Amino acid sequence: MAPKKLYIKTYGCQMNVYDSERMAEAMGGEGYETTERPEDADMILLNTCHIREKAAEKVYSELGRYKGLKAARPDLKIGVAGCVAQAEGEEIMRRQPMVDLVVGPQSYHRLPEMEAKVRSGGKALDTDFPEEDKFDHLKGRPKAKRGPTAFLTVQEGCDKFCAFCVVPYTRGAEVSRPAERVLTEARDLVERGVREITLLGQNVNAYHGHDGGLAGLIHALAEVDGLERIRFTTSHPNDMDEALIEAHGTCDKLMPYLHLPVQAGSDKILKRMNRQHTAEQYLRLIERLRAARPDLHLSGDFIVGFPEETEADFQATLDLIEAVEYGSAFSFKYSERPGTPAAERPQVPEDEKDDRLQRLQALLTKQQRSLQDAMVGRDVHVLFEKPGRLPGQMVGKSEYLHAVHVETSGIVPGDLARIRIESSGPNSLKGVMYPL
Ligand code: 5AD
Ligand code: SF4
């Protein structure tokens, strides 16, 4: 029998990218191959994001686009997975009756049986937070070769309850996967060609599946032969313990790049966000990290226009950014999320938010560019990932996560090489093999 075809569209964070891979692998066991074209699919699965209003609305407009396909081929099955599935559940089927299946992020191991149910004409909905660990029940990853970088989820959920955020509701309480299982999966990925692993968790540095916490897991992973680079994301400042700070100085395989969101620079706003730390505490933490690893590049997330944010509060965010100097950053206008405490507070007008976002992004872009330009003349190590657009060109990432283009014939994906940076463009660096 010809394999059935699965089209997965992934929205949102890297954890969704990882989950989509795992779902595709689980469905492989049910005779599905993935396709890049929704029109060829027997099943369309949207792996959704609920973090901001726009992200959630995108799902409904995307579903609308499949109406014609579904009308032409009624046996096409349509599923919604991810955080919108978790947050809205049955409401999705009410709004879009053509949806056959709704599955929340903690129930992906039940996807094969849900698929069988919809195949026989039923509807399937599962948004439970089951006791069992979905990863124990998801089929093992197949042995096929893959690219040199991979995500690996080690922790899920969040107990922090920042006042703006839906994650504690959509992903549930913090859960860590046991270190042994993470190590087995990492070894397996390395056998399949992976050289760099990014450990994922909504609050990854609160990981407790190893006696030594996340630092313990990183040191254990560093022992895996063939694994050259380790990264992790996303971290909360309050869970950056001494061992993890130290690891940045002592573990060669841990890359000098850290995503450490602060969200805002005003203590009043940080308090109302329920972040549980001040701007000063964050800055002291950065100092300790830089003492452990002086060349550390920092990345952050920022929200502008949080309820009751004044111009002076916003200025405090700009001041904090000036003090830190970020190598990269993500910034958002505050988006009201139903059910979160901040949604009940007095809102900042939309045009104010637009104006602040523009000013914030101008500063962040300037910093990003100046740190990137400062790489010119320096040597970096690049893990090559794929051919570039020009013939004979390869692209990879430096330890600081800058994209680096090199014109060379002797390099294949998965190679690590020392590269001298010669120029800096809008989004990437260009370099030559070293020694020349
Ligand atoms: N509005 C805007 N941005 C948000 N984020 C989370 N919730 C919201 C919201 N309601 C941002 C935070 C977080 C990132 C993943 O998304 O900056 O760190
Ligand atoms: Fe959301 Fe991160 Fe705050 Fe948790 S720590 S509530 S995931 S922003």
Q: Where in the chain is the domain with CATH 2.40.50.140?
A: 379-433
Contact predicate 196/150, CB 8 Å? yes
Which ligand lies nearest the alpha carbon of 155? 2
Q: Which atom of ligand 1 is nearest to the CA of 263?
A: 17
Residue 124 has a pLDDT of 93
49 is in an annotated binding site: yes
Distances (CA, A) of 32 to 105, 112, 125, 193: 20, 10, 20, 23
Q: Where in the chain is the domain with CATH 3.40.50.12160?
A: 4-126
Residue 131 has a pLDDT of 66
Residue 139 has a pLDDT of 62
Type of residue numbered 279: A
Third-level CATH fold of 4-126: Rossmann fold (3.40.50)
Residue 145 has a pLDDT of 84
Q: Where in the chain is the domain with CATH 3.30.750.210?
A: 143-255
| pTM summary value | 0.94
165 is in an annotated binding site: yes
Residue 140 has a pLDDT of 58
Q: Which CATH number fits domain 379-433: 2.40.50.140, 3.40.980.10, 1.10.3720.10, 3.30.2010.10?
A: 2.40.50.140
Residues 6+ away with beta carbon under 8 Å from 429: 372, 375, 376, 380, 398, 402, 403, 404, 405, 421, 423
Q: Where in the chain is the domain with CATH 3.30.750.200?
A: 282-374
Residue nearest atom 5 in ligand 2 by C-alpha distance: 160
* CA 29 to ligand 2 center in whole angstroms: 34
Q: Which atom of ligand 2 is nearest to the CA of 236?
A: 5
Has domain 143-255 been given CATH number 3.30.750.210? yes
For each of the chain's 436 residues, which pLDDT tens digit applies? 788 999 999 999 999 999 999 999 889 888 999 999 999 999 999 999 999 998 888 999 999 999 999 999 989 999 999 999 999 999 999 999 999 999 999 899 899 999 999 999 999 999 887 766 676 666 655 667 889 999 999 999 999 999 999 999 998 999 999 999 999 999 999 999 999 999 999 999 999 999 999 999 999 999 999 999 999 999 999 999 999 999 999 999 999 999 999 999 999 999 999 999 999 999 999 999 999 999 999 999 999 999 999 999 999 999 999 999 999 999 999 999 999 999 999 999 999 999 999 999 999 999 999 999 999 999 999 999 999 888 889 999 999 999 999 998 789 999 999 999 999 999 999 999 976 5
Q: Domain 282-374's class?
A: alpha beta
Residue nearest atom 12 in ligand 1 by C-alpha distance: 301
